[in-house]
A and B are shown apart, each in its own frame.
Chain A
Amino acid sequence: MNVGVVTFPGSNCDADFRRAIDRVEGLRAVALWHKDTDLSGVDAVVLPGGFSYGDYLRCGAIARFSPMMQSVARFAAQGRPVLGVCNGFQILCEAHLLPGVLMQNRDLSFLCKDVTILVERTDTPWTRGLANKLVLPIAHGDGNWQADDETVKRIEGDGQVVFRYQSNPNGARNDVAGLCNAARNVVGLMPHPERAVDPLLGGTDGLGFLTSLVEVLA
C-alpha cells in the first residue's frame, strides 16, 4: 500500500516520515510535490511537519492553497485516510478540513520535548490498536489549539478529540493534542509519531499510527 507524503516548500519532516513509513511492512512511501495534483497512486496521504512558507503569515496559511491541497481535500471528502502532523495539522485546520486554529504557545516560545498523550479514539484509520497512553515528542511554537465555544461543544459532543495532553504544554483548549473530522478519516495532531519509530531514538509509540493503517487498508 502506498502512503503519499506531501512536500511543501519549507516542509522538513517529510523525509523522516517517508523513512518511518518504509520501516513498516506492507507500506511504501511515495513523495508528493505540492505543485502536483495526482493522488491516483496512493492509498493514504500524510502532511508532514516543518515550516511551510516559513510559517510567516500563520502556520499553514499559504500551503493550504497549493494545488496538491485541492486534491487532498477531494481525497478527504471521499473518506480516504489523511494525517497531518504538526505543520500538517496546522495546514488541515487552515484548510478547514479540521476545526479550530493553532495559535502561538501559551508562553510564546518554541518547545521541544516528550509529552504523554491520552488516546481517546481508536476508530480512525490512524489510531486503531493504539494503547491508551503514548509518549511522543513535540516540537512546535504554535500548537495552542483554539476554537470558539460552539465549536468546542460540537466536537466534544461528536467525539472528535482523538488525543489529549496529560499535562498541557502549550495552552491548547481542553488539552487538545489532536483531532479528527466528523467522518473520522482525517486526523491531525501536534506530536510527531514519525520521530518515535525506533527504540534507539526515544521509543516506538509512533509506529502504531502506521500499523493501524496497514490493518485498515488491508
Chain B
Amino acid sequence: MITAEQLKKHKLTAGEYGHARDVLGREASLTELGVLSVMWSEHCSYKSSRKHLARLPTTGPRVVIGPGENAGVVDVGDGWCVCFKMESHNHPSFIEPRQGAATGVGGILRDVFTMGARPIAALNSLRFGRPEHPKTRHLVDGVVSGIGGYGNCFGVPTVGGEVVFDASYDGNCLVNAFVVGTMKRDAIFLGLATGIGNPVIYVGARTGRDGIHGATMASDEFSDKKAVERPTVQVGDPFQEKLLLEACLELMRSDAIVGIQDMGAAGLTSSSVEMAGRAGNGLLLELDKVPLREEGMTPYELLLSESQERMLIVAKQGREEDVRKIFDKWDLQAVVIGRVTDDGIWRCTWHGEEVCALPVPLLTDEAPKYDRPQARPDWQDAVQVLPTVTAGDASADLLALIGSPDHCSREWIWSRYDHQVGAATVIRPGSDAAVVRMHDTTKAIALTVDGNSRHVYLDPVQGGMGVIAEGARNLACVGAVAVGATDNLNFGNPERPAIMWQIANAIDGLAAGCRALDVPIVSGNVSLYNETDGNAILPTPTVAMVGLIEGELPAIGARLGRAGLEVAVIGALPTHGVGGSSWLARVHGLLRGKPPTVDLVAEKALHTALIKLVREGLVEVAHDSADGGVALALAEICLPLRSDASVGLVGELPGSGDRTARLFGEDHGRVVIAYDRHQAPAIDAVLAGIPRTVVGISGGSRLTLTDAGAPVIDVAIDALTARWRDAMPTYLAGDPWPV
C-alpha cells in the first residue's frame, strides 16, 4: 500500500498516483513509485510547460531534428549539420557551485555527442544575486571554475556567455549551459531502442548514489543499513567524459549500434524509458548487472542515481563484442544489462526477481499534463509606470554603468576558459557573437546567448520578442545568418497563476520573434520552481542562437581600432524612453516602466542589410546597441580588447527629444557601425532606406558627445577602461564592488 506520506515524499499527487494505479490495475511497488516520481517530475515530463512549448516554431527547411531528441540538429549545407542544446543546472549549482556547474556542462556535452556530433563550442548564461550578498562571490568563483574545469579538460572551447547580477537571484542562481557540435548529416544517431532482442549496453562510469533525491533516500525502507549522511551532490569527471566521447564517436562509425542516449536527469530510468518510448518497444533490464561504485545499493537507488559520465546503447544482436572492444581501447567498461522486448513494458529484475513492470507509455506520453491557471499579476500595471527621475551628469552615469556588474569586462571569467582549444575560434569571447570555424568545410558558425529578465518581467511578450531580436542582431553583427536557436525557460513556481502567466506570455513573445526572424527552436529546456521562501526569480528565458557564415570569413571587429573612421547608428533612433533600462536599474535602483517594443519587420530588414554590409566588407566595426543604450554602445567600441588599442570618438548624440532616453534608452532594432567614410554611399545603397545617422569620427583619447552643440558626455577612454576592466577582478579578489 502506497501511503499519502510516501506520495508526498515523491512529490506525486493522489490524483496522479491514482491514474497510475488504474492503469496498472494494482498498487505500485516503492521502486516503481520512485520511477514514476522522476518520470513524472516537472523536469522530465514538462507537465506544466508542454502545452505552451507547442506554440514555439520548431520546423524549417534546415531543421533535421527538432525538440524531442537529446539535442536539435540543423542542416548547414554540403552534407554538414550542427547539433545543439541548452540545459540548466540551477539548483545543483547553488548547493555546490563548482560541481553543480561542472556537471551541468558535462550533461549538455553528452546530450550533443550522443547524437553523433563532436562538440566544437560551449557557451553559458549565468545569473547571480547582488554582489554584496554574502553568497554571491563564492557562487561566481565556484561556477566559473566548474565550467572552466570541465570544458577545459574535456577539450571544448568555451567561447561566450552572459552574466547578470540581480537581487532576485540571491537565493537561486541560474546556470544555463549550451553546447554545439558538428556532424555529417548521414551520421546522426538517435535514442532509439529498436530491434526486438537487441542488447542494451551500459557504458562509462560506474553507478554510485550521486544525486538521488535526499528525502526519498533517508527512508528506511530502502536500505537495511543504518541511514548514514550521504551527500547527494554529483561529482563530474571530465576526463572520463572525454574518453566516453572518443569511444562513442568511434563506436558510431562502426555500424554496430541502433541507438544511444546519455544518462542525464533520472539516469538509467529516463534514458532507458525514453529509448523504449521513441521506438514503441519494451525493455528488460537486469539491474544486478549494472556496474556499481558503492556497496549495498538497492534497485531503487540504482534506478534513480544521477552518476555522471554514463551512456546507454542499444546494439545490433551479435555485435556486443565489437562494442566491448572499442570501449576497452579507451579503458572504459561496456556491460550488457538487458534487451529490447516487444511487449511495451519496461521491466527490471534484480537477481532474477522482477522489481518493476511498468507500461512504457504510462511513463512517457501518458505522463500528466496540466493547463495550469494563469493570471496577470496584480502588480503588473504598477511596475509599468515609470516614475520621474531626474537626469544627472551623463558622464558620471556612463562611468557607473560601464563599471557595473552587468556591463563591466568579463575577462576575469573568460580568461579562465580555454576558448581556443580546437584551433577554430575566429572571434573569441568579448564581442557580440563568437565565431568558430567548422573544420574540413568553408563554413563557420556564430554563437550568442542572451536574456533580458528585466524586460521580460515588465512585459513578458515584448521581453520575449526582444530576446530573439537581440540574439539574431548579435549574429548579424558578425555577418552570420541565424539558422536555429535553443532556449532555457527559467521561472518560478508554475502553480502560482502569476508565474504561469509570465511563462505563457514569454513563450508567446519568443514564438513571435522566432517566426518573424525565421529562427526555429530546435531544442531547449525548462527550469521551474526557481524560488526561495516564496520569492521567485525574475522571469528569465535565455536563448542561445546559432548563425551560419559561408565562404570567406568577414573581417569585422567590435572595437574602433583606428582613428578616422566614421561612426553611425543604423536603424531606428531611440524614441522609447528609459523604461526597463539598465540605466534605471543601475543608476537609480529602479525596475520600472515599459520595456521597448520590438518592430520585428524592421528588425528583419536591419539584420539582412547588416549581414550584407559585413559580408561585403563595407564596415569595419559593428556592435549591437541594446542593454545600456546608445551611450554604452559608443563607449564600448572605444575600449581596448586584446591587441586592439583604445581609440576615442568625438560626435553628436543622435536623435532628438529627451536626452536621457537618447543616451540610455534600450530600443531594439539598431546597431552602431564604423567605416571608412568613402564607403558611405555603398553602405546607403545596401541599407536601402534604413536610417543611418552619423555620430562622429573616431580618434583622440576621449569620448565626447554633444547635443546641439552643448556638451553631454566628455570622458577619457582611460577612465572608462579602468572602470570597465578593474571592477570584476577587484570584486573577486574579495573587495566590495568598486563604485
- Chain A contact residues, CB within 8 Å of chain B: 9-10, 12-13, 16, 19-20, 49-51, 53-56, 109-114, 137, 139, 141, 192, 194-195, 197-198, 200-202
Contact = CB atoms under 8 A, between A and B. Distances in A.
Interface in B236-267: 237-240, 242-243
Contact of B154 (A12, A55, A198): A12
Contacts of B553: 200
A55 B416 contact: no
Contacts of A139: 152, 418, 420-421
A207 to B, nearest CB: 13
Interface of B: 145, 148-149, 152-155, 237-240, 242-243, 330-331, 414-426, 428, 437, 439, 553, 642-643
Closest 9 pairs between A and B when the two form their complex, measured CB to CB: A12-B155, A54-B239, A16-B423, A51-B153, A139-B418, A195-B423, A112-B418, A110-B416, A10-B239
B417 A9 contact: no
B264 to A, nearest CB: 21
A195 B239 contact: no
Nearest to B243: A9
Nearest to A35: B329
6 contacts: A10-B153, A16-B421, A16-B423, A114-B643, A192-B420, A202-B428
Given A10-B153, A54-B153, A109-B145, A19 B421 contact: no
Nearest to A114: B642
B153 A55 contact: yes
A110 B148 contact: yes
Contact of B238 (A9, A49, A51): A51
B331 A9 contact: yes
A19 B439 contact: yes
Given A114-B643, A201-B426, A195 B238 contact: no
A45 B242 CA distance: 23
Contacts of B424: 201
Contacts of B152: 51, 110, 139, 141
Nearest to A7: B246
Contact of B425 (A10, A20, A49, A201): A201
A197 B414 CA distance: 22
Contacts of A113: 415, 642
B316 to A, nearest CB: 26
B419 to A, nearest CB: 6
> Among A16, A111, A198, which residue has the most Cβ atoms of chain B within 10 A?
A16
A13 B239 contact: no
A28 to B, nearest CB: 17
Contacts of B428: 202
A50 B415 contact: no
A201 B436 CA distance: 10
Contacts of A111: 415-416
B415 A112 contact: yes
A111 B411 CA distance: 10
Contact of A12 (B242, B425, B439): B242
Contact of A202 (B243, B418, B420, B422): B420
A137 B420 contact: yes
A19 B239 contact: no
Contacts of B425: 201
> Among A9, A55, A111, A198, which residue has the most Cβ atoms of chain B within 10 A?
A9
Contacts of A200: 426, 437, 553
Given A9-B239, A54-B239, A110-B416, A16 B422 contact: yes
Contacts of A109: 145, 416
A39 B509 CA distance: 61
B426 A112 contact: no
Nearest to A202: B420
Nearest to A33: B329
Contact of A13 (B148, B421, B642): B421
A54 B238 contact: yes
A75 to B, nearest CB: 24
Contacts of B414: 112
A36 to B, nearest CB: 11
Contacts of A195: 420, 423
A60 B237 CA distance: 17
A139 B422 CA distance: 12
A112 B423 contact: no
Nearest to B428: A202
Given A198-B423, A200-B437, A202-B420, 17 more contacts: A13-B421, A13-B423, A16-B421, A16-B423, A19-B423, A53-B239, A54-B153, A54-B237, A56-B239, A111-B416, A112-B420, A139-B152, A139-B418, A139-B420, A200-B426, A201-B420, A201-B424
Contacts of A9: 239, 242-243, 330-331
A21 B529 CA distance: 51
A49 B145 CA distance: 20
A10 B416 contact: no
Contacts of B423: 13, 16, 19-20, 194-195, 197-198, 201
> Among B152, B243, B414, B424, which residue has the most Cβ atoms of chain A within 10 A?
B152
Nearest to B642: A114
